[in-house]
Protein backbone atom coordinates (compact mmCIF):
# COMPACT_ATOMS: atom_id res chain seq x y z
CA UNK A 1 0.00 0.00 0.00
CA UNK A 2 1.39 3.40 -0.90
CA UNK A 3 2.18 5.97 1.77
CA UNK A 4 -0.48 8.31 0.44
CA UNK A 5 -3.19 5.67 0.64
CA UNK A 6 -2.04 4.63 4.10
CA UNK A 7 -2.11 8.29 5.12
CA UNK A 8 -5.70 8.67 3.94
CA UNK A 9 -6.89 5.53 5.67
CA UNK A 10 -5.02 6.06 8.94
CA UNK A 11 -6.90 9.18 10.07
CA UNK A 12 -10.17 7.30 9.74
CA UNK A 13 -9.04 4.80 12.34
CA UNK A 14 -7.89 7.53 14.68
CA UNK A 15 -11.12 9.40 14.15
CA UNK A 16 -13.12 6.30 15.08
CA UNK A 17 -11.11 5.93 18.28
CA UNK A 18 -11.67 9.58 19.10
CA UNK A 19 -15.45 9.38 18.93
CA UNK A 20 -15.52 6.34 21.14
CA UNK A 21 -16.15 2.65 20.79
CA UNK A 22 -19.78 2.68 21.94
CA UNK A 23 -21.18 2.44 18.40
CA UNK A 24 -19.74 1.33 15.08
CA UNK A 25 -20.06 4.49 13.04
CA UNK A 26 -18.44 2.90 9.99
CA UNK A 27 -21.02 0.10 9.94
CA UNK A 28 -23.92 2.51 10.40
CA UNK A 29 -22.71 4.69 7.53
CA UNK A 30 -22.12 1.64 5.33
CA UNK A 31 -25.70 0.55 5.95
CA UNK A 32 -26.92 4.07 5.12
CA UNK A 33 -24.94 4.08 1.87
CA UNK A 34 -26.44 0.74 0.83
CA UNK A 35 -29.93 1.98 1.66
CA UNK A 36 -29.42 5.04 -0.53
CA UNK A 37 -28.95 2.61 -3.43
CA UNK A 38 -32.73 2.45 -3.82
CA UNK A 39 -32.74 0.48 -7.06
CA UNK A 40 -30.05 -2.00 -5.91
CA UNK A 41 -28.00 -1.10 -8.95
CA UNK A 42 -24.71 -1.15 -7.08
CA UNK A 43 -24.37 2.61 -7.59
CA UNK A 44 -25.77 5.70 -5.91
CA UNK A 45 -26.75 8.45 -8.32
CA UNK A 46 -27.13 12.10 -7.44
CA UNK A 47 -30.90 11.85 -7.02
CA UNK A 48 -30.49 8.98 -4.53
CA UNK A 49 -27.72 10.83 -2.74
CA UNK A 50 -29.90 13.91 -2.38
CA UNK A 51 -32.57 11.79 -0.72
CA UNK A 52 -30.97 12.24 2.70
CA UNK A 53 -30.02 15.87 2.11
CA UNK A 54 -33.31 17.14 0.73
CA UNK A 55 -33.90 19.31 3.77
CA UNK A 56 -30.79 21.37 3.03
CA UNK A 57 -31.47 21.70 -0.68
CA UNK A 58 -30.10 20.59 -3.98
CA UNK A 59 -26.97 22.76 -4.01
CA UNK A 60 -25.78 21.58 -0.60
CA UNK A 61 -26.25 17.93 -1.57
CA UNK A 62 -24.46 18.41 -4.86
CA UNK A 63 -21.62 20.16 -3.03
CA UNK A 64 -21.23 17.25 -0.59
CA UNK A 65 -21.20 14.73 -3.41
CA UNK A 66 -18.66 16.82 -5.31
CA UNK A 67 -16.40 16.84 -2.25
CA UNK A 68 -16.54 13.05 -2.14
CA UNK A 69 -15.86 12.97 -5.86
CA UNK A 70 -12.67 15.00 -5.42
CA UNK A 71 -11.42 12.65 -2.73
CA UNK A 72 -11.89 9.60 -4.93
CA UNK A 73 -10.18 11.27 -7.88
CA UNK A 74 -7.24 12.31 -5.68
CA UNK A 75 -6.92 8.72 -4.49
CA UNK A 76 -7.30 7.18 -7.95
CA UNK A 77 -3.60 6.77 -8.61
CA UNK A 78 -3.03 5.27 -5.17
CA UNK A 79 -5.68 2.64 -5.81
CA UNK A 80 -4.20 1.98 -9.27
CA UNK A 81 -0.78 1.32 -7.78
CA UNK A 82 -2.16 -0.72 -4.90
CA UNK A 83 -4.68 -2.91 -6.75
CA UNK A 84 -2.93 -3.06 -10.12
CA UNK A 85 -5.85 -1.74 -12.21
CA UNK A 86 -7.26 1.62 -13.17
CA UNK A 87 -9.36 2.35 -10.12
CA UNK A 88 -9.63 5.94 -11.28
CA UNK A 89 -12.01 5.04 -14.08
CA UNK A 90 -14.37 3.44 -11.56
CA UNK A 91 -14.49 6.25 -9.07
CA UNK A 92 -17.11 8.90 -8.55
CA UNK A 93 -18.11 10.60 -11.79
CA UNK A 94 -20.37 13.48 -10.89
CA UNK A 95 -20.77 14.51 -14.52
CA UNK A 96 -22.41 11.16 -15.20
CA UNK A 97 -24.56 11.55 -12.09
CA UNK A 98 -23.47 8.51 -10.10
CA UNK A 99 -21.38 7.52 -7.10
CA UNK A 100 -20.07 3.98 -7.45
CA UNK A 101 -19.61 1.69 -4.49
CA UNK A 102 -15.86 2.12 -4.79
CA UNK A 103 -16.67 5.53 -3.26
CA UNK A 104 -18.05 3.92 -0.10
CA UNK A 105 -14.88 4.64 1.90
CA UNK A 106 -14.91 8.23 0.72
CA UNK A 107 -18.58 8.61 1.67
CA UNK A 108 -17.84 7.27 5.16
CA UNK A 109 -14.80 9.51 5.53
CA UNK A 110 -16.82 12.55 4.45
CA UNK A 111 -19.68 11.81 6.83
CA UNK A 112 -17.33 11.13 9.75
CA UNK A 113 -15.76 14.52 9.18
CA UNK A 114 -19.14 16.23 9.05
CA UNK A 115 -20.40 14.50 12.22
CA UNK A 116 -17.10 14.27 14.13
CA UNK A 117 -18.19 16.67 16.87
CA UNK A 118 -21.46 14.85 17.53
CA UNK A 119 -21.89 12.52 20.51
CA UNK A 120 -22.90 8.90 19.96
CA UNK A 121 -26.47 9.79 20.88
CA UNK A 122 -26.55 12.72 18.45
CA UNK A 123 -24.88 10.64 15.75
CA UNK A 124 -27.47 7.86 16.06
CA UNK A 125 -30.29 10.39 16.01
CA UNK A 126 -28.97 11.99 12.81
CA UNK A 127 -28.53 8.63 11.10
CA UNK A 128 -32.06 7.69 12.15
CA UNK A 129 -33.38 10.89 10.56
CA UNK A 130 -31.49 10.05 7.37
CA UNK A 131 -33.07 6.60 7.30
CA UNK A 132 -36.50 8.15 7.86
CA UNK A 133 -35.93 10.55 4.99
CA UNK A 134 -35.09 7.67 2.70
CA UNK A 135 -38.08 5.63 3.91
CA UNK A 136 -40.48 8.54 3.61
CA UNK A 137 -38.88 10.04 0.51
CA UNK A 138 -39.51 7.33 -2.08
CA UNK A 139 -41.84 9.61 -4.02
CA UNK A 140 -39.48 12.54 -3.66
CA UNK A 141 -36.64 10.36 -4.94
CA UNK A 142 -38.67 9.33 -7.97
CA UNK A 143 -39.57 12.95 -8.66
CA UNK A 144 -35.90 13.90 -8.43
CA UNK A 145 -35.06 11.21 -10.97
CA UNK A 146 -37.86 12.48 -13.21
CA UNK A 147 -36.46 16.02 -12.94
CA UNK A 148 -32.94 14.90 -13.82
CA UNK A 149 -34.21 12.94 -16.83
CA UNK A 150 -36.18 15.98 -18.00
CA UNK A 151 -33.20 18.33 -17.52
CA UNK A 152 -31.77 17.32 -20.90
CA UNK A 153 -28.98 19.94 -20.92
CA UNK A 154 -27.94 19.25 -17.29
CA UNK A 155 -28.37 22.92 -16.42
CA UNK A 156 -29.85 22.19 -12.97
CA UNK A 157 -33.20 23.75 -13.81
CA UNK A 158 -36.10 23.30 -16.23
CA UNK A 159 -37.07 26.11 -18.56
CA UNK A 160 -40.89 26.32 -18.64
CA UNK A 161 -41.06 27.03 -22.38
CA UNK A 162 -38.56 24.30 -23.25
CA UNK A 163 -40.42 21.89 -20.94
CA UNK A 164 -43.67 22.41 -22.84
CA UNK A 165 -41.87 21.98 -26.18
CA UNK A 166 -40.28 18.76 -24.94
CA UNK A 167 -43.62 17.37 -23.77
CA UNK A 168 -45.28 18.23 -27.08
CA UNK A 169 -42.40 16.57 -28.93
CA UNK A 170 -42.70 13.53 -26.69
CA UNK A 171 -46.30 12.91 -27.74
CA UNK A 172 -45.21 12.32 -31.35
CA UNK A 173 -45.61 8.69 -32.35
CA UNK A 174 -46.93 7.46 -28.99
CA UNK A 175 -50.52 6.87 -30.07
CA UNK A 176 -53.84 8.69 -29.91
CA UNK A 177 -53.99 8.51 -26.12
CA UNK A 178 -51.30 11.18 -25.91
CA UNK A 179 -52.05 13.17 -29.03
CA UNK A 180 -53.73 16.00 -27.15
CA UNK A 181 -54.32 17.17 -23.63
CA UNK A 182 -57.68 16.05 -22.19
CA UNK A 183 -60.41 18.67 -22.34
CA UNK A 184 -61.63 17.88 -18.81
CA UNK A 185 -59.57 18.32 -15.62
CA UNK A 186 -56.03 17.18 -16.57
CA UNK A 187 -55.26 13.65 -15.45
CA UNK A 188 -52.07 11.63 -15.19
CA UNK A 189 -48.94 13.51 -16.12
CA UNK A 190 -50.94 16.44 -17.53
CA UNK A 191 -51.84 17.62 -14.03
CA UNK A 192 -48.11 18.27 -13.50
CA UNK A 193 -48.02 20.88 -16.27
CA UNK A 194 -51.22 22.76 -15.48
CA UNK A 195 -50.51 26.53 -15.65
CA UNK A 196 -51.25 27.03 -11.94
CA UNK A 197 -48.93 24.15 -10.99
CA UNK A 198 -46.05 25.47 -13.12
CA UNK A 199 -46.67 28.95 -11.75
CA UNK A 200 -46.46 27.74 -8.14
CA UNK A 201 -43.19 25.94 -8.93
CA UNK A 202 -41.68 29.07 -10.45
CA UNK A 203 -41.07 30.81 -7.14
CA UNK A 204 -38.72 33.43 -8.64
CA UNK A 205 -41.06 34.03 -11.61
CA UNK A 206 -38.12 33.75 -14.00
CA UNK A 207 -39.47 30.86 -16.06
CA UNK A 208 -37.00 28.42 -14.52
CA UNK A 209 -37.96 25.53 -12.24
CA UNK A 210 -35.45 24.26 -9.69
CA UNK A 211 -35.44 20.71 -8.39
CA UNK A 212 -36.61 21.46 -4.84
CA UNK A 213 -39.52 23.57 -6.15
CA UNK A 214 -40.37 20.76 -8.55
CA UNK A 215 -40.36 18.03 -5.89
CA UNK A 216 -42.22 19.91 -3.16
CA UNK A 217 -44.96 21.13 -5.53
CA UNK A 218 -45.59 17.76 -7.17
CA UNK A 219 -45.65 15.98 -3.81
CA UNK A 220 -48.60 18.20 -2.90
CA UNK A 221 -50.26 17.59 -6.29
CA UNK A 222 -49.96 13.83 -5.74
CA UNK A 223 -51.11 13.80 -2.08
CA UNK A 224 -54.41 12.11 -2.91
CA UNK A 225 -53.04 9.52 -5.33
CA UNK A 226 -52.29 5.89 -4.52
CA UNK A 227 -48.81 4.49 -4.99
CA UNK A 228 -50.00 2.69 -8.13
CA UNK A 229 -51.47 5.89 -9.58
CA UNK A 230 -48.33 7.84 -8.71
CA UNK A 231 -46.10 5.23 -10.35
CA UNK A 232 -48.29 5.21 -13.46
CA UNK A 233 -47.93 8.99 -13.74
CA UNK A 234 -44.15 8.76 -13.32
CA UNK A 235 -43.96 6.03 -15.97
CA UNK A 236 -46.09 8.06 -18.37
CA UNK A 237 -43.98 11.18 -17.84
CA UNK A 238 -40.73 9.25 -18.32
CA UNK A 239 -42.04 7.69 -21.53
CA UNK A 240 -43.06 11.10 -22.86
CA UNK A 241 -39.73 12.72 -21.94
CA UNK A 242 -37.62 9.89 -23.36
CA UNK A 243 -39.59 10.01 -26.57
CA UNK A 244 -39.42 13.81 -26.54
CA UNK A 245 -35.64 13.69 -26.37
CA UNK A 246 -35.62 11.35 -29.36
CA UNK A 247 -38.01 13.53 -31.34
CA UNK A 248 -36.04 16.68 -30.48
CA UNK A 249 -32.78 15.16 -31.74
CA UNK A 250 -34.41 13.86 -34.93
CA UNK A 251 -36.05 17.25 -35.48
CA UNK A 252 -32.66 18.92 -35.11
CA UNK A 253 -31.20 16.63 -37.79
CA UNK A 254 -34.13 17.35 -40.13
CA UNK A 255 -33.85 21.11 -39.62
CA UNK A 256 -30.13 21.00 -40.39
CA UNK A 257 -30.78 18.77 -43.42
CA UNK A 258 -33.42 21.24 -44.69
CA UNK A 259 -30.74 23.64 -45.92
CA UNK A 260 -33.14 26.19 -47.44
CA UNK A 261 -35.56 25.96 -44.49
CA UNK A 262 -38.45 25.22 -46.86
CA UNK A 263 -40.06 22.66 -44.54
CA UNK A 264 -39.25 19.68 -46.74
CA UNK A 265 -36.05 17.84 -47.68
CA UNK A 266 -35.20 17.17 -51.31
CA UNK A 267 -32.91 14.47 -52.66
CA UNK A 268 -30.10 17.00 -53.08
CA UNK A 269 -30.38 18.11 -49.46
CA UNK A 270 -30.55 14.57 -48.11
CA UNK A 271 -27.44 13.54 -50.05
CA UNK A 272 -25.48 15.72 -47.63
CA UNK A 273 -25.84 12.78 -45.22
CA UNK A 274 -23.52 10.70 -47.41
CA UNK A 275 -19.89 10.63 -46.29
CA UNK A 276 -18.63 9.01 -49.50
CA UNK A 277 -19.77 8.66 -53.11
CA UNK A 278 -20.62 5.02 -52.42
CA UNK A 279 -23.07 6.03 -49.68
CA UNK A 280 -25.08 8.31 -51.96
CA UNK A 281 -27.06 5.44 -53.47
CA UNK A 282 -27.93 4.18 -49.97
CA UNK A 283 -29.09 7.66 -48.90
CA UNK A 284 -31.22 7.93 -52.05
CA UNK A 285 -32.83 4.61 -51.20
CA UNK A 286 -33.60 5.81 -47.66
CA UNK A 287 -35.42 8.87 -49.02
CA UNK A 288 -37.40 6.69 -51.44
CA UNK A 289 -38.41 4.27 -48.65
CA UNK A 290 -39.52 7.09 -46.33
CA UNK A 291 -41.40 8.87 -49.12
CA UNK A 292 -43.23 5.70 -50.18
CA UNK A 293 -43.74 4.13 -46.75
CA UNK A 294 -44.50 7.21 -44.65
CA UNK A 295 -45.09 10.04 -47.11
CA UNK A 296 -47.16 11.01 -50.14
CA UNK A 297 -44.68 9.90 -52.84
CA UNK A 298 -43.86 13.45 -53.94
CA UNK A 299 -40.10 12.90 -54.04
CA UNK A 300 -39.54 14.92 -50.86
CA UNK A 301 -39.93 14.19 -47.15
CA UNK A 302 -41.50 16.38 -44.49
CA UNK A 303 -40.43 16.72 -40.88
CA UNK A 304 -43.32 14.52 -39.73
CA UNK A 305 -42.45 11.81 -42.27
CA UNK A 306 -38.78 11.86 -41.25
CA UNK A 307 -39.45 11.68 -37.51
CA UNK A 308 -42.11 8.97 -37.80
CA UNK A 309 -39.87 6.82 -39.99
CA UNK A 310 -36.80 7.28 -37.78
CA UNK A 311 -38.72 6.56 -34.56
CA UNK A 312 -40.06 3.40 -36.15
CA UNK A 313 -36.64 2.36 -37.41
CA UNK A 314 -34.95 2.98 -34.04
CA UNK A 315 -37.70 1.68 -31.75
CA UNK A 316 -35.42 -1.10 -30.48
CA UNK A 317 -32.28 1.05 -30.32
CA UNK A 318 -31.14 2.46 -26.96
CA UNK A 319 -31.27 6.23 -26.57
CA UNK A 320 -27.49 6.49 -26.47
CA UNK A 321 -27.16 4.81 -29.87
CA UNK A 322 -29.77 7.08 -31.46
CA UNK A 323 -28.26 10.24 -29.96
CA UNK A 324 -24.79 9.16 -31.10
CA UNK A 325 -26.09 8.58 -34.64
CA UNK A 326 -27.86 11.95 -34.67
CA UNK A 327 -24.75 13.77 -33.45
CA UNK A 328 -22.71 12.13 -36.20
CA UNK A 329 -25.32 13.02 -38.82
CA UNK A 330 -25.26 16.66 -37.72
CA UNK A 331 -21.47 16.68 -38.08
CA UNK A 332 -21.62 15.17 -41.56
CA UNK A 333 -24.40 17.54 -42.65
CA UNK A 334 -22.51 20.63 -41.54
CA UNK A 335 -19.30 19.47 -43.22
CA UNK A 336 -20.98 18.57 -46.52
CA UNK A 337 -23.19 21.66 -46.65
CA UNK A 338 -20.16 23.88 -46.12
CA UNK A 339 -18.22 21.95 -48.75
CA UNK A 340 -21.16 22.30 -51.15
CA UNK A 341 -21.36 26.06 -50.71
CA UNK A 342 -17.63 26.46 -51.17
CA UNK A 343 -17.97 24.69 -54.50
CA UNK A 344 -20.93 26.90 -55.45
CA UNK A 345 -18.90 30.04 -54.77
CA UNK A 346 -16.16 28.75 -57.07
CA UNK A 347 -18.55 27.60 -59.81
CA UNK A 348 -21.01 30.49 -59.77
CA UNK A 349 -21.10 34.27 -59.19
CA UNK A 350 -18.14 34.53 -56.82
CA UNK A 351 -16.05 32.54 -59.30
CA UNK A 352 -17.18 34.82 -62.14
CA UNK A 353 -16.15 37.87 -60.10
CA UNK A 354 -12.69 36.45 -59.41
CA UNK A 355 -12.19 35.57 -63.10
CA UNK A 356 -13.19 39.09 -64.18
CA UNK A 357 -10.87 40.76 -61.70
CA UNK A 358 -7.94 38.50 -62.51
CA UNK A 359 -8.42 39.30 -66.19
CA UNK A 360 -8.23 43.03 -65.35
CA UNK A 361 -4.93 42.60 -63.47
CA UNK A 362 -6.35 42.66 -59.94
CA UNK A 363 -4.45 40.46 -57.46
CA UNK A 364 -6.09 41.37 -54.13
CA UNK A 365 -9.38 42.65 -52.75
CA UNK A 366 -9.37 44.73 -49.56
CA UNK A 367 -12.66 44.47 -47.67
CA UNK A 368 -12.90 47.41 -45.22
CA UNK A 369 -15.47 47.83 -42.49
CA UNK A 370 -16.77 51.37 -41.97
CA UNK A 371 -15.36 53.46 -39.11
CA UNK A 372 -17.21 54.54 -35.96
CA UNK A 373 -20.56 56.16 -36.80
CA UNK A 374 -23.43 57.81 -34.95
CA UNK A 375 -26.11 55.31 -33.82
CA UNK A 376 -29.37 55.00 -35.70
CA UNK A 377 -32.76 56.11 -34.42
CA UNK A 378 -33.64 52.53 -33.45
CA UNK A 379 -30.79 52.51 -30.92
CA UNK A 380 -32.07 55.67 -29.24
CA UNK A 381 -35.58 54.22 -29.05
CA UNK A 382 -34.35 50.93 -27.60
CA UNK A 383 -35.60 48.95 -30.61
CA UNK A 384 -33.69 46.25 -32.54
CA UNK A 385 -31.37 47.53 -35.25
CA UNK A 386 -33.27 48.54 -38.38
CA UNK A 387 -31.40 48.07 -41.68
CA UNK A 388 -33.68 50.54 -43.44
CA UNK A 389 -33.32 54.08 -44.82
CA UNK A 390 -32.43 55.44 -41.37
CA UNK A 391 -29.36 53.19 -41.27
CA UNK A 392 -28.19 54.41 -44.68
CA UNK A 393 -27.90 58.02 -43.46
CA UNK A 394 -25.67 57.48 -40.42
CA UNK A 395 -22.48 59.62 -40.52
CA UNK A 396 -19.01 59.13 -39.07
CA UNK A 397 -18.16 60.49 -35.62
CA UNK A 398 -14.95 62.36 -34.80
CA UNK A 399 -13.57 59.07 -33.51
CA UNK A 400 -14.46 57.45 -36.82
CA UNK A 401 -12.57 60.14 -38.74
CA UNK A 402 -9.54 59.59 -36.50
CA UNK A 403 -9.75 55.83 -37.11
CA UNK A 404 -9.68 56.44 -40.86
CA UNK A 405 -6.63 58.69 -40.60
CA UNK A 406 -4.83 56.10 -38.49
CA UNK A 407 -5.71 53.31 -40.94
CA UNK A 408 -4.52 55.41 -43.89
CA UNK A 409 -1.16 55.90 -42.20
CA UNK A 410 -0.81 52.36 -40.85
CA UNK A 411 -1.81 50.22 -43.81
CA UNK A 412 -4.39 51.50 -46.28
CA UNK A 413 -2.15 54.17 -47.77
CA UNK A 414 0.47 51.55 -48.60
CA UNK A 415 -1.96 49.35 -50.55
CA UNK A 416 -1.70 49.78 -54.36
CA UNK A 417 -5.48 50.29 -54.64
CA UNK A 418 -7.21 51.54 -57.74
CA UNK A 419 -8.64 55.04 -57.66
CA UNK A 420 -12.29 53.96 -57.77
CA UNK A 421 -13.64 52.34 -54.63
CA UNK A 422 -16.51 49.86 -54.46
CA UNK A 423 -18.85 50.89 -51.69
CA UNK A 424 -22.08 50.21 -49.85
CA UNK A 425 -24.72 52.94 -50.36
CA UNK A 426 -24.56 53.79 -46.64
CA UNK A 427 -23.17 57.26 -45.86
CA UNK A 428 -20.74 55.94 -43.22
CA UNK A 429 -19.20 53.50 -45.72
CA UNK A 430 -18.71 56.25 -48.32
CA UNK A 431 -17.21 58.61 -45.72
CA UNK A 432 -14.86 55.88 -44.49
CA UNK A 433 -13.62 55.39 -48.05
CA UNK A 434 -13.14 59.15 -48.46
CA UNK A 435 -11.30 59.71 -45.16
CA UNK A 436 -9.04 56.71 -45.77
CA UNK A 437 -8.18 57.90 -49.29
CA UNK A 438 -7.73 61.67 -48.83
CA UNK A 439 -6.26 63.87 -46.15
CA UNK A 440 -8.84 66.68 -46.23
CA UNK A 441 -12.40 67.28 -45.05
CA UNK A 442 -15.04 64.75 -45.98
CA UNK A 443 -17.12 67.00 -48.25
CA UNK A 444 -14.13 67.80 -50.46
CA UNK A 445 -12.83 64.25 -50.26
CA UNK A 446 -16.18 62.71 -51.13
CA UNK A 447 -16.50 65.00 -54.13
CA UNK A 448 -13.13 63.87 -55.45
CA UNK A 449 -13.61 60.16 -54.74
CA UNK A 450 -14.68 57.99 -57.68
CA UNK A 451 -17.10 55.54 -56.08
CA UNK A 452 -18.92 52.58 -57.56
CA UNK A 453 -21.98 51.96 -55.35
CA UNK A 454 -22.85 48.29 -54.78
CA UNK A 455 -26.40 48.40 -53.42
CA UNK A 456 -26.47 44.77 -52.27
CA UNK A 457 -23.49 45.32 -49.94
CA UNK A 458 -26.00 46.91 -47.56
CA UNK A 459 -28.69 44.48 -46.29
CA UNK A 460 -31.35 46.99 -47.31
CA UNK A 461 -30.18 46.62 -50.91
CA UNK A 462 -31.36 43.03 -51.39
CA UNK A 463 -33.75 40.53 -49.83
CA UNK A 464 -31.61 39.47 -46.87
CA UNK A 465 -34.35 38.99 -44.29
CA UNK A 466 -33.05 35.59 -43.15
CA UNK A 467 -29.56 37.00 -42.59
CA UNK A 468 -30.96 40.05 -40.80
CA UNK A 469 -32.91 37.77 -38.46
CA UNK A 470 -29.74 35.86 -37.58
CA UNK A 471 -27.81 39.08 -36.94
CA UNK A 472 -30.64 40.43 -34.78
CA UNK A 473 -30.76 37.14 -32.87
CA UNK A 474 -27.04 36.66 -32.17
CA UNK A 475 -25.63 40.18 -32.38
CA UNK A 476 -21.98 40.81 -33.19
CA UNK A 477 -20.21 37.46 -33.52
CA UNK A 478 -17.82 35.75 -35.98
CA UNK A 479 -19.23 34.50 -39.28
CA UNK A 480 -18.82 30.86 -38.23
CA UNK A 481 -21.52 31.28 -35.57
CA UNK A 482 -24.10 32.36 -38.15
CA UNK A 483 -23.16 29.61 -40.62
CA UNK A 484 -23.39 26.92 -37.93
CA UNK A 485 -27.03 27.82 -37.21
CA UNK A 486 -29.72 25.83 -39.05
CA UNK A 487 -30.25 27.55 -42.40
CA UNK A 488 -27.37 29.99 -41.83
CA UNK A 489 -25.11 28.54 -44.52
CA UNK A 490 -27.85 28.88 -47.14
CA UNK A 491 -29.04 32.33 -45.99
CA UNK A 492 -25.59 33.90 -46.17
CA UNK A 493 -24.75 31.85 -49.28
CA UNK A 494 -27.65 33.41 -51.19
CA UNK A 495 -26.66 36.86 -49.91
CA UNK A 496 -23.02 36.35 -50.96
CA UNK A 497 -23.91 35.22 -54.47
CA UNK A 498 -26.19 38.24 -54.88
CA UNK A 499 -23.41 40.65 -53.88
CA UNK A 500 -20.82 38.90 -56.06
CA UNK A 501 -23.21 39.00 -59.02
CA UNK A 502 -23.68 42.77 -58.70
CA UNK A 503 -19.95 43.30 -58.12
CA UNK A 504 -19.05 41.35 -61.27
CA UNK A 505 -21.61 43.12 -63.48
CA UNK A 506 -20.77 46.66 -62.32
CA UNK A 507 -17.03 45.97 -62.38
CA UNK A 508 -17.16 44.85 -66.02
CA UNK A 509 -19.18 47.95 -67.00
CA UNK A 510 -17.11 50.52 -65.08
CA UNK A 511 -13.82 52.34 -65.75
CA UNK A 512 -12.28 50.74 -62.64
CA UNK A 513 -11.28 47.64 -64.60
CA UNK A 514 -8.94 49.79 -66.73
CA UNK A 515 -7.37 51.73 -63.86
CA UNK A 516 -3.86 51.14 -62.56
CA UNK A 517 -3.22 49.28 -59.34
CA UNK A 518 -3.45 45.64 -58.36
CA UNK A 519 -5.75 46.09 -55.32
CA UNK A 520 -9.42 47.05 -55.24
CA UNK A 521 -11.02 48.31 -52.03
CA UNK A 522 -14.57 47.40 -51.01
CA UNK A 523 -16.24 49.26 -48.12
CA UNK A 524 -19.16 47.80 -46.21
CA UNK A 525 -20.50 46.47 -42.92
CA UNK A 526 -19.19 44.04 -40.29
CA UNK A 527 -20.21 40.38 -40.75
CA UNK A 528 -21.84 41.12 -44.11
CA UNK A 529 -18.43 42.10 -45.45
CA UNK A 530 -16.79 39.09 -43.78
CA UNK A 531 -19.30 36.88 -45.53
CA UNK A 532 -18.59 38.27 -49.01
CA UNK A 533 -14.84 38.08 -48.33
CA UNK A 534 -15.32 34.42 -47.41
CA UNK A 535 -17.14 33.71 -50.69
CA UNK A 536 -14.38 35.41 -52.70
CA UNK A 537 -11.69 33.51 -50.76
CA UNK A 538 -13.49 30.23 -51.57
CA UNK A 539 -13.67 31.17 -55.26
CA UNK A 540 -9.97 32.13 -55.16
CA UNK A 541 -9.22 28.61 -53.89
CA UNK A 542 -7.55 29.74 -50.67
CA UNK A 543 -6.45 26.87 -48.43
CA UNK A 544 -8.71 25.17 -45.91
CA UNK A 545 -6.60 26.65 -43.12
CA UNK A 546 -7.08 30.20 -44.42
CA UNK A 547 -10.82 29.72 -44.92
CA UNK A 548 -11.24 28.40 -41.39
CA UNK A 549 -9.27 31.38 -40.07
CA UNK A 550 -11.56 33.74 -41.94
CA UNK A 551 -14.66 32.16 -40.39
CA UNK A 552 -13.40 33.14 -36.92
CA UNK A 553 -12.15 36.60 -37.87
CA UNK A 554 -14.01 39.60 -36.44
CA UNK A 555 -13.66 42.96 -38.13
CA UNK A 556 -13.38 45.99 -35.89
CA UNK A 557 -14.20 49.53 -36.99
CA UNK A 558 -12.01 50.73 -39.90
CA UNK A 559 -10.29 47.34 -40.10
CA UNK A 560 -9.86 45.31 -43.25
CA UNK A 561 -9.50 41.82 -44.70
CA UNK A 562 -6.95 41.36 -47.49
CA UNK A 563 -7.97 38.46 -49.76
CA UNK A 564 -5.49 37.26 -52.44
CA UNK A 565 -7.27 36.31 -55.68
CA UNK A 566 -4.66 33.68 -56.55
CA UNK A 567 -4.75 31.88 -53.20
CA UNK A 568 -2.32 32.52 -50.37
CA UNK A 569 -2.51 34.08 -46.93
CA UNK A 570 -5.57 36.06 -45.85
CA UNK A 571 -4.58 39.01 -43.67
CA UNK A 572 -6.43 41.17 -41.18
CA UNK A 573 -5.51 44.85 -41.50
CA UNK A 574 -5.70 46.51 -38.09
CA UNK A 575 -6.06 50.14 -37.02
CA UNK A 576 -3.55 51.04 -34.25
CA UNK A 577 -6.10 52.88 -32.11
pLDDT digits (tens, 9 = 90+) for 285-330: 999 999 999 988 899 999 999 999 999 999 888 988 999 999 999 9
pLDDT digits (tens, 9 = 90+) for 555-577: 999 999 999 999 899 999 997 65
pLDDT digits (tens, 9 = 90+) for 89-109: 333 333 344 555 446 777 787
Neighbours of 510 (CB within 10 A): 14
206 Cβ contact partners less than 8 Å away, ≥ 6 residues apart: none
How many residues are present in the chain?
577
Task: Specify the pLDDT at position 408.
Answer: 93
Q: Which of 67, 110, 78, 64 is nearest to 4 (CA)?
A: 78
Interatomic CA distance for residues 304 and 428, integer angstroms: 47
Q: Are strands 451-453 and 421-423 parallel, antiparallel or unpaired?
A: parallel
- Intervals of the chain under pLDDT 70: 1-21, 38-43, 45-103, 132-133, 135-136, 173-187, 377-389, 440-447, 461-463, 576-577
454 Cβ contact partners less than 8 Å away, ≥ 6 residues apart: 422, 423, 424, 425, 461, 499, 502, 503, 506, 522, 524
Q: Which residues pair with 273 in a beta bridge?
A: none
Q: How many CA atoms lie within 13 A of 280 on its CB side?
A: 9
Integer CA distances (angstroms), 495 to 145, 492, 507, in order? 47, 5, 18
Interatomic CA distance for residues 109 and 16, integer angstroms: 10
For the question of whether the overall pTM of this predicted structure is more than 0.75, the answer is: no
Q: Which residue ranges make up each domain of the chain?
A: 3-136, 142-246, 258-343, 348-573
Q: Are strands 98-100 and 157-159 parallel, antiparallel or unpaired?
A: unpaired
Task: Specify the pLDDT at position 501.
Answer: 96
Q: Which of 493, 476, 474 is nearest to 369 (CA)?
A: 476
- Does the domain at 258-343 match CATH 3.40.1130? Answer given as no
Interatomic CA distance for residues 60 and 65, integer angstroms: 9
Helix (H) or strand (E) holding 272: none
Helix (H) or strand (E) holding 338: helix 319-347
Interatomic CA distance for residues 307 and 310, integer angstroms: 5
Computed over its alpha carbons, how large is the radius of gyration of the chain? Answer: 32
* Geometric angle at alpha carbon 243, from 240 and 248, rounded to 5°: 115
Domains 142-246 and 348-573 share a fold: no
The hierarchical CATH code for the domain 348-573 is 3.40.50.1240
Regarding the domain delimited by 142-246, which CATH topology (the fold level of the hierarchy) does it fall under?
A: Recoverin; domain 1 (1.10.238)
Q: Which residues pair with 265 in a beta bridge?
A: 301
Amino acid sequence: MTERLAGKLQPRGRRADKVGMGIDRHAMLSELFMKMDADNSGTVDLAEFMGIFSAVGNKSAARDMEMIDRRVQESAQDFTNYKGHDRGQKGVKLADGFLQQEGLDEFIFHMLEQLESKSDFQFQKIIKVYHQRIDQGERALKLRKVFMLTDVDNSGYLDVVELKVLIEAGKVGLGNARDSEPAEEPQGMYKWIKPEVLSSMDVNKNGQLEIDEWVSTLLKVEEGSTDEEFQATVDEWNAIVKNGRRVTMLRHVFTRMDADQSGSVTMGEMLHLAETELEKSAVSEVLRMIDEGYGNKDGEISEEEWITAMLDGHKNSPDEALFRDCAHQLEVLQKNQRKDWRYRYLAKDAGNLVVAMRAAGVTHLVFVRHANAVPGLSVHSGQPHDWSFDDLSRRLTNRGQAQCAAARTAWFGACPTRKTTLCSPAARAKETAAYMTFDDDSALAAAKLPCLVIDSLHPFGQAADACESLVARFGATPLRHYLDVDGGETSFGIYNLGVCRELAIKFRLSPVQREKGTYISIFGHAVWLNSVAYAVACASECSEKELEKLLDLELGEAEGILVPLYGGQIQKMVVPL
